[in-house]
Structure 1
Amino acid sequence: MGKKIYIILSNTGTLFSKAIGMYTKKELNHASIAFDEELKEMYSFGRKSSHNPFNGGFVKENPVEGLFQRATCAIYECEVTDSEYVRMKRKIHQMEQQKQLYRYNLIGLLFIAINIEMERENAFFCSQFVATIMKECPSSQLQIAPPLAQPHHFEQQSALTLKFKGDLQTYVSSKRKVEQSFHVSSWKKYAFSKVSFM
Protein backbone atom coordinates (compact mmCIF):
# COMPACT_ATOMS: atom_id res chain seq x y z
CA MET A 1 0.00 0.00 0.00
CA GLY A 2 1.35 3.45 -0.91
CA LYS A 3 2.06 6.49 1.21
CA LYS A 4 1.26 10.18 0.89
CA ILE A 5 3.49 13.21 1.06
CA TYR A 6 2.51 16.86 1.06
CA ILE A 7 3.95 19.85 -0.76
CA ILE A 8 3.24 23.16 0.95
CA LEU A 9 3.49 26.43 -0.96
CA SER A 10 3.22 29.46 1.29
CA ASN A 11 3.42 33.22 1.58
CA THR A 12 4.72 34.47 4.92
CA GLY A 13 4.52 38.13 3.96
CA THR A 14 8.17 38.90 4.71
CA LEU A 15 10.14 41.47 2.74
CA PHE A 16 12.21 38.64 1.25
CA SER A 17 9.06 36.82 0.14
CA LYS A 18 7.66 40.02 -1.35
CA ALA A 19 10.92 40.63 -3.23
CA ILE A 20 10.76 37.14 -4.75
CA GLY A 21 7.11 37.72 -5.61
CA MET A 22 8.01 40.85 -7.55
CA TYR A 23 10.12 38.65 -9.84
CA THR A 24 7.90 35.56 -10.05
CA LYS A 25 4.59 37.48 -10.17
CA LYS A 26 3.22 34.69 -7.97
CA GLU A 27 1.57 34.85 -4.56
CA LEU A 28 3.15 31.75 -2.98
CA ASN A 29 6.94 31.84 -3.00
CA HIS A 30 8.07 29.38 -0.34
CA ALA A 31 8.03 25.58 -0.75
CA SER A 32 8.17 22.87 1.92
CA ILE A 33 7.67 19.11 2.03
CA ALA A 34 5.85 17.17 4.75
CA PHE A 35 5.30 13.49 5.48
CA ASP A 36 1.98 13.82 7.31
CA GLU A 37 -1.18 15.84 6.71
CA GLU A 38 -0.91 17.49 10.14
CA LEU A 39 2.45 18.95 8.97
CA LYS A 40 4.32 17.77 12.05
CA GLU A 41 7.17 16.56 9.83
CA MET A 42 7.65 19.56 7.56
CA TYR A 43 11.02 20.49 6.06
CA SER A 44 12.54 23.11 3.83
CA PHE A 45 15.46 25.49 3.36
CA GLY A 46 14.95 28.93 4.80
CA ARG A 47 15.86 31.21 7.65
CA LYS A 48 16.93 29.46 10.85
CA SER A 49 15.71 32.39 12.93
CA SER A 50 12.66 34.53 12.23
CA HIS A 51 14.71 37.57 13.27
CA ASN A 52 17.64 37.00 10.89
CA PRO A 53 16.84 36.53 7.18
CA PHE A 54 20.52 36.10 6.31
CA ASN A 55 21.08 33.00 8.46
CA GLY A 56 19.55 30.28 6.32
CA GLY A 57 19.88 26.55 5.81
CA PHE A 58 18.12 23.23 6.39
CA VAL A 59 15.16 23.64 8.74
CA LYS A 60 12.43 21.51 10.26
CA GLU A 61 9.53 23.92 10.18
CA ASN A 62 6.74 24.43 12.68
CA PRO A 63 3.64 25.67 10.83
CA VAL A 64 2.06 27.18 13.96
CA GLU A 65 4.98 29.37 15.04
CA GLY A 66 6.96 32.37 13.88
CA LEU A 67 6.51 33.60 10.32
CA PHE A 68 3.89 30.96 9.53
CA GLN A 69 1.35 32.36 11.99
CA ARG A 70 -0.09 34.71 9.36
CA ALA A 71 0.80 32.72 6.27
CA THR A 72 -1.46 31.81 3.39
CA CYS A 73 -0.83 28.53 1.61
CA ALA A 74 -1.71 25.90 -0.94
CA ILE A 75 -1.27 22.28 0.12
CA TYR A 76 -0.83 19.50 -2.41
CA GLU A 77 -1.01 15.76 -1.80
CA CYS A 78 1.07 13.23 -3.71
CA GLU A 79 0.83 9.45 -3.58
CA VAL A 80 4.16 7.63 -3.58
CA THR A 81 5.24 4.04 -3.18
CA ASP A 82 6.46 2.70 0.14
CA SER A 83 10.03 2.49 -1.16
CA GLU A 84 9.94 6.08 -2.49
CA TYR A 85 8.60 7.28 0.85
CA VAL A 86 11.41 5.52 2.71
CA ARG A 87 14.07 6.91 0.37
CA MET A 88 12.81 10.47 0.77
CA LYS A 89 12.67 10.23 4.55
CA ARG A 90 16.12 8.66 4.66
CA LYS A 91 17.57 11.48 2.55
CA ILE A 92 16.04 14.13 4.78
CA HIS A 93 17.14 12.29 7.93
CA GLN A 94 20.71 12.27 6.63
CA MET A 95 20.54 16.01 5.97
CA GLU A 96 19.03 16.66 9.38
CA GLN A 97 21.84 14.75 11.07
CA GLN A 98 24.38 17.02 9.33
CA LYS A 99 22.33 20.19 9.09
CA GLN A 100 25.26 22.34 10.19
CA LEU A 101 26.90 21.58 6.81
CA TYR A 102 24.01 22.99 4.76
CA ARG A 103 23.40 26.60 3.80
CA TYR A 104 20.93 28.63 1.80
CA ASN A 105 21.68 28.88 -1.92
CA LEU A 106 21.02 32.59 -2.38
CA ILE A 107 23.37 32.77 -5.38
CA GLY A 108 21.46 29.95 -7.08
CA LEU A 109 18.21 31.81 -6.47
CA LEU A 110 19.59 34.89 -8.21
CA PHE A 111 20.77 32.83 -11.20
CA ILE A 112 17.21 31.62 -11.86
CA ALA A 113 16.50 35.08 -13.24
CA ILE A 114 18.87 34.40 -16.15
CA ASN A 115 17.88 30.73 -16.45
CA ILE A 116 21.27 29.37 -15.39
CA GLU A 117 21.58 26.33 -13.13
CA MET A 118 23.77 27.18 -10.17
CA GLU A 119 24.39 24.06 -8.11
CA ARG A 120 26.52 24.54 -5.04
CA GLU A 121 27.69 21.81 -2.69
CA ASN A 122 25.40 21.44 0.32
CA ALA A 123 23.44 24.56 -0.63
CA PHE A 124 19.77 24.79 -1.61
CA PHE A 125 16.93 27.28 -1.76
CA CYS A 126 13.49 26.06 -0.75
CA SER A 127 12.04 24.87 -4.06
CA GLN A 128 15.40 23.43 -5.15
CA PHE A 129 15.44 21.35 -1.96
CA VAL A 130 11.88 20.06 -2.42
CA ALA A 131 12.54 19.26 -6.09
CA THR A 132 15.72 17.40 -5.11
CA ILE A 133 13.84 15.27 -2.57
CA MET A 134 11.13 14.59 -5.16
CA LYS A 135 13.73 13.10 -7.49
CA GLU A 136 13.39 9.98 -5.32
CA CYS A 137 9.92 9.59 -6.92
CA PRO A 138 10.39 9.05 -10.68
CA SER A 139 6.68 9.36 -11.44
CA SER A 140 6.24 12.56 -9.44
CA GLN A 141 9.45 14.53 -9.93
CA LEU A 142 9.39 17.87 -11.73
CA GLN A 143 10.31 18.02 -15.38
CA ILE A 144 12.62 20.94 -14.63
CA ALA A 145 16.08 20.67 -13.04
CA PRO A 146 16.03 21.34 -9.27
CA PRO A 147 18.36 24.40 -9.50
CA LEU A 148 15.74 26.05 -11.74
CA ALA A 149 12.68 24.91 -9.80
CA GLN A 150 10.33 27.58 -8.51
CA PRO A 151 7.37 27.03 -6.15
CA HIS A 152 4.77 27.54 -8.90
CA HIS A 153 6.26 24.64 -10.88
CA PHE A 154 4.77 22.26 -8.30
CA GLU A 155 1.30 23.63 -9.11
CA GLN A 156 1.80 22.35 -12.66
CA GLN A 157 2.81 18.82 -11.64
CA SER A 158 -0.04 16.45 -12.56
CA ALA A 159 0.92 13.96 -9.83
CA LEU A 160 0.04 16.54 -7.17
CA THR A 161 -3.55 17.09 -6.05
CA LEU A 162 -4.58 20.39 -4.47
CA LYS A 163 -6.14 19.63 -1.06
CA PHE A 164 -6.40 23.08 0.49
CA LYS A 165 -5.85 26.73 -0.30
CA GLY A 166 -6.19 29.55 2.22
CA ASP A 167 -5.04 30.40 5.73
CA LEU A 168 -2.36 28.00 6.98
CA GLN A 169 -3.52 28.15 10.61
CA THR A 170 -7.05 27.22 9.55
CA TYR A 171 -5.72 24.12 7.80
CA VAL A 172 -3.43 23.02 10.64
CA SER A 173 -6.11 23.62 13.26
CA SER A 174 -8.67 21.54 11.37
CA LYS A 175 -6.29 18.61 10.86
CA ARG A 176 -4.94 18.55 14.39
CA LYS A 177 -8.39 18.87 15.94
CA VAL A 178 -9.46 15.77 14.02
CA GLU A 179 -6.40 13.95 15.32
CA GLN A 180 -7.01 15.10 18.91
CA SER A 181 -10.67 14.11 18.68
CA PHE A 182 -9.65 10.62 17.53
CA HIS A 183 -7.26 10.21 20.46
CA VAL A 184 -9.89 11.37 22.98
CA SER A 185 -12.47 9.02 21.46
CA SER A 186 -10.01 6.11 21.59
CA TRP A 187 -9.18 6.89 25.24
CA LYS A 188 -12.88 6.96 26.18
CA LYS A 189 -13.45 3.58 24.52
CA TYR A 190 -10.44 2.17 26.36
CA ALA A 191 -11.58 3.63 29.70
CA PHE A 192 -15.13 2.31 29.19
CA SER A 193 -13.86 -1.16 28.33
CA LYS A 194 -11.73 -1.19 31.50
CA VAL A 195 -14.71 -0.13 33.63
CA SER A 196 -17.07 -2.67 32.08
CA PHE A 197 -14.78 -5.53 33.06
CA MET A 198 -14.33 -4.45 36.69
Structure 2
Amino acid sequence: MEKEIYILLTNTGTLLARSIQLCTGEKFCHVSIAFDQELKEVYSFGRKDQANPWIGGFVREDVRGPIFHNSPCRIYKLKVEEQAYASIREQIEFFMNESDKYRYNFLGIFAVWFGIQWQRRNYYFCSQFVNSILQNANVFVVNKFPELTTPADFMEARLELLYQGSLSSYIGALHRARQGKQFRTA
Protein backbone atom coordinates (compact mmCIF):
# COMPACT_ATOMS: atom_id res chain seq x y z
CA MET A 1 0.00 0.00 0.00
CA GLU A 2 1.31 3.45 -0.89
CA LYS A 3 1.51 6.43 1.43
CA GLU A 4 1.91 10.11 0.59
CA ILE A 5 4.53 12.60 1.64
CA TYR A 6 4.85 16.19 0.48
CA ILE A 7 7.80 18.26 -0.67
CA LEU A 8 7.42 21.98 -0.01
CA LEU A 9 9.53 24.56 -1.85
CA THR A 10 9.44 28.13 -0.54
CA ASN A 11 11.16 31.48 -0.65
CA THR A 12 10.64 33.35 2.60
CA GLY A 13 12.29 36.56 1.43
CA THR A 14 14.57 36.67 4.49
CA LEU A 15 18.14 37.96 4.18
CA LEU A 16 19.49 34.40 3.98
CA ALA A 17 16.85 33.43 1.41
CA ARG A 18 17.64 36.48 -0.72
CA SER A 19 21.37 35.70 -0.48
CA ILE A 20 20.82 32.11 -1.61
CA GLN A 21 18.52 33.31 -4.37
CA LEU A 22 21.13 35.82 -5.53
CA CYS A 23 23.78 33.08 -5.72
CA THR A 24 21.59 30.45 -7.40
CA GLY A 25 19.30 32.59 -9.53
CA GLU A 26 16.45 30.26 -8.55
CA LYS A 27 13.01 31.37 -7.35
CA PHE A 28 12.82 28.84 -4.50
CA CYS A 29 15.63 28.56 -1.99
CA HIS A 30 14.19 26.36 0.74
CA VAL A 31 12.80 22.82 0.76
CA SER A 32 10.97 20.90 3.47
CA ILE A 33 9.35 17.51 3.84
CA ALA A 34 5.81 17.11 5.18
CA PHE A 35 3.65 14.17 6.18
CA ASP A 36 0.29 15.79 5.56
CA GLN A 37 -1.37 17.88 2.87
CA GLU A 38 -2.40 20.43 5.51
CA LEU A 39 1.30 21.07 6.26
CA LYS A 40 0.93 20.65 9.99
CA GLU A 41 3.90 18.30 10.21
CA VAL A 42 6.74 19.91 8.23
CA TYR A 43 10.48 19.31 8.77
CA SER A 44 13.71 20.71 7.43
CA PHE A 45 16.96 22.41 8.35
CA GLY A 46 16.50 26.10 8.99
CA ARG A 47 16.23 28.71 11.72
CA LYS A 48 16.01 27.45 15.27
CA ASP A 49 15.61 31.02 16.51
CA GLN A 50 13.19 33.13 14.46
CA ALA A 51 15.05 36.32 15.43
CA ASN A 52 18.51 35.04 14.45
CA PRO A 53 19.15 33.43 11.05
CA TRP A 54 22.60 32.23 12.11
CA ILE A 55 21.27 29.80 14.69
CA GLY A 56 20.09 26.94 12.54
CA GLY A 57 19.59 23.22 12.65
CA PHE A 58 16.90 20.57 12.44
CA VAL A 59 13.46 22.14 12.87
CA ARG A 60 9.80 21.33 12.80
CA GLU A 61 8.57 24.26 10.79
CA ASP A 62 5.52 26.39 11.44
CA VAL A 63 4.48 27.35 7.91
CA ARG A 64 1.66 29.44 9.40
CA GLY A 65 4.14 31.64 11.26
CA PRO A 66 5.62 35.01 10.30
CA ILE A 67 8.72 33.68 8.50
CA PHE A 68 6.63 31.83 5.89
CA HIS A 69 3.73 34.30 5.66
CA ASN A 70 2.95 35.05 2.02
CA SER A 71 5.94 33.04 0.76
CA PRO A 72 5.68 31.87 -2.82
CA CYS A 73 5.62 28.09 -2.77
CA ARG A 74 5.30 24.89 -4.71
CA ILE A 75 3.88 21.80 -3.04
CA TYR A 76 4.55 18.39 -4.52
CA LYS A 77 2.95 15.08 -3.63
CA LEU A 78 5.10 11.97 -3.63
CA LYS A 79 3.69 8.47 -3.27
CA VAL A 80 6.03 6.04 -1.54
CA GLU A 81 5.79 2.43 -0.45
CA GLU A 82 4.75 1.81 3.14
CA GLN A 83 8.24 0.58 4.06
CA ALA A 84 9.83 3.78 2.70
CA TYR A 85 7.26 5.89 4.53
CA ALA A 86 8.06 4.09 7.79
CA SER A 87 11.80 4.65 7.20
CA ILE A 88 11.26 8.37 6.56
CA ARG A 89 9.17 8.65 9.74
CA GLU A 90 11.83 6.79 11.72
CA GLN A 91 14.58 9.07 10.45
CA ILE A 92 12.59 12.20 11.30
CA GLU A 93 11.93 10.81 14.79
CA PHE A 94 15.67 10.21 15.20
CA PHE A 95 16.46 13.80 14.18
CA MET A 96 13.80 15.08 16.58
CA ASN A 97 15.24 13.09 19.48
CA GLU A 98 18.81 14.15 18.67
CA SER A 99 18.08 17.68 17.40
CA ASP A 100 20.64 19.34 19.69
CA LYS A 101 23.43 17.52 17.81
CA TYR A 102 22.61 18.98 14.42
CA ARG A 103 23.58 22.32 12.92
CA TYR A 104 22.80 24.17 9.72
CA ASN A 105 25.46 23.59 7.06
CA PHE A 106 26.21 27.18 5.97
CA LEU A 107 29.60 26.13 4.57
CA GLY A 108 27.95 23.33 2.62
CA ILE A 109 25.87 25.89 0.72
CA PHE A 110 29.09 27.46 -0.59
CA ALA A 111 30.49 24.04 -1.45
CA VAL A 112 27.40 23.29 -3.58
CA TRP A 113 27.81 26.60 -5.35
CA PHE A 114 31.32 25.49 -6.39
CA GLY A 115 30.20 21.92 -7.17
CA ILE A 116 32.16 20.44 -4.27
CA GLN A 117 30.65 17.45 -2.50
CA TRP A 118 31.42 18.09 1.16
CA GLN A 119 29.78 15.96 3.80
CA ARG A 120 30.11 17.33 7.32
CA ARG A 121 29.04 15.14 10.22
CA ASN A 122 25.83 16.42 11.85
CA TYR A 123 25.57 19.40 9.49
CA TYR A 124 22.87 19.75 6.84
CA PHE A 125 21.26 22.39 4.70
CA CYS A 126 17.60 21.99 3.72
CA SER A 127 17.87 20.29 0.32
CA GLN A 128 20.72 18.08 1.50
CA PHE A 129 18.58 16.94 4.42
CA VAL A 130 15.45 16.20 2.37
CA ASN A 131 17.33 14.30 -0.32
CA SER A 132 19.33 12.40 2.30
CA ILE A 133 16.15 11.34 4.15
CA LEU A 134 14.57 10.17 0.88
CA GLN A 135 17.64 8.33 -0.38
CA ASN A 136 18.14 6.62 2.99
CA ALA A 137 14.60 5.28 2.53
CA ASN A 138 15.46 4.10 -1.03
CA VAL A 139 13.37 6.84 -2.61
CA PHE A 140 15.38 8.40 -5.42
CA VAL A 141 13.66 11.47 -6.84
CA VAL A 142 16.82 13.57 -7.19
CA ASN A 143 19.72 11.62 -8.65
CA LYS A 144 22.47 13.63 -6.98
CA PHE A 145 24.50 13.25 -3.87
CA PRO A 146 22.58 14.94 -1.05
CA GLU A 147 25.53 17.29 -0.47
CA LEU A 148 25.09 18.64 -4.03
CA THR A 149 21.29 18.88 -4.03
CA THR A 150 19.57 22.24 -4.40
CA PRO A 151 15.88 23.11 -3.97
CA ALA A 152 15.67 23.58 -7.75
CA ASP A 153 16.56 19.90 -8.21
CA PHE A 154 13.20 18.99 -6.68
CA MET A 155 11.44 21.09 -9.31
CA GLU A 156 13.09 18.98 -12.02
CA ALA A 157 12.24 15.68 -10.30
CA ARG A 158 9.27 13.56 -11.27
CA LEU A 159 6.95 14.76 -8.56
CA GLU A 160 3.25 15.52 -8.78
CA LEU A 161 2.69 19.28 -8.47
CA LEU A 162 -0.16 19.75 -6.04
CA TYR A 163 -0.10 23.55 -5.68
CA GLN A 164 1.80 26.62 -6.80
CA GLY A 165 1.23 30.10 -5.45
CA SER A 166 1.30 31.90 -2.13
CA LEU A 167 1.62 29.70 0.95
CA SER A 168 -0.89 31.85 2.83
CA SER A 169 -3.40 31.39 -0.02
CA TYR A 170 -2.91 27.62 0.15
CA ILE A 171 -3.46 27.59 3.91
CA GLY A 172 -6.49 29.86 3.48
CA ALA A 173 -7.93 27.46 0.89
CA LEU A 174 -7.44 24.58 3.33
CA HIS A 175 -9.29 26.54 5.99
CA ARG A 176 -12.17 27.29 3.62
CA ALA A 177 -12.28 23.61 2.58
CA ARG A 178 -12.69 22.58 6.23
CA GLN A 179 -15.66 24.93 6.35
CA GLY A 180 -17.26 23.08 3.43
CA LYS A 181 -16.15 25.32 0.59
CA GLN A 182 -14.37 23.93 -2.47
CA PHE A 183 -10.59 23.39 -2.29
CA ARG A 184 -8.60 23.61 -5.50
CA THR A 185 -4.98 22.61 -6.01
CA ALA A 186 -2.69 22.96 -9.03
The bucket for the TM-score relative to the shorter chain is: over 0.9
Shift of 1:142: 1.3
Shift of 1:175: 2.2
Structure with greater helix share of residues: 1
Match of 2:184 in 1: none
TM-score with structure 2 length normalisation? 0.92
Match of 1:69 in 2: 69
Paired with 2:148 and 2:179, the residues of 1 have a C-alpha distance of: 40
Paired with 1:136 and 1:37, the residues of 2 have a C-alpha distance of: 23
Match of 1:152 in 2: 152
Are the equivalent residues in 2 in contact too, given 1:38–1:176 (CA < 8 A)?
Answer: no
Shift of 1:136: 3.6
Shift of 1:66: 2.2
- Aligned residues with identical type, % of pairs: 38
Match of 1:188 in 2: none
1:164 aligns to 2:166 (yes or no) = no
Match of 2:52 in 1: 52
- Distance verdict in 2 for CA 1:28–1:79, change over 3 Å: same
Match of 2:177 in 1: 178
Paired with 1:69 and 1:23, the residues of 2 have a C-alpha distance of: 23
* Number of matched pairs: 181
Paired with 1:179 and 1:53, the residues of 2 have a C-alpha distance of: 34
- Distance verdict in 2 for CA 1:65–1:140, change over 3 Å: same
1:27-83 CA distance string (max 9 Å, x none)? 110000001000111000001122101000000001100200121101111100111
Are the equivalent residues in 2 in contact too, given 1:78–1:161 (CA < 8 A)?
Answer: yes
Name the SS of the counterpart of 2:119 in structure 1.
coil
Q: Give unmatched runs, 5+ long, in structure 2.
A: 182-186
1:110 aligns to 2:104 (yes or no) = no
The residue type paired with residue 92 of structure 1 is I
Are the equivalent residues in 2 in contact too, given 1:28–1:73 (CA < 8 A)?
Answer: yes
1:144-173 CA distance string (max 9 Å, x none)? 100000000001111x11111110011122
Paired with 2:95 and 2:64, the residues of 1 have a C-alpha distance of: 23
Match of 2:94 in 1: 94
Cα RMSD of the aligned pairs, angstroms, is: 1.5
Name the SS of the counterpart of 2:67 in structure 1.
helix
TM-score with structure 1 length normalisation? 0.87
Name the SS of the counterpart of 1:95 in structure 2.
helix
Paired with 1:129 and 1:36, the residues of 2 have a C-alpha distance of: 18
Name the SS of the counterpart of 1:174 in structure 2.
helix
1:117-148 CA distance string (max 9 Å, x none)? 11111110000000011114435331010000
The residue type paired with residue 175 of structure 1 is L
Name the SS of the counterpart of 1:142 in structure 2.
coil
Name the SS of the counterpart of 2:169 in structure 1.
helix
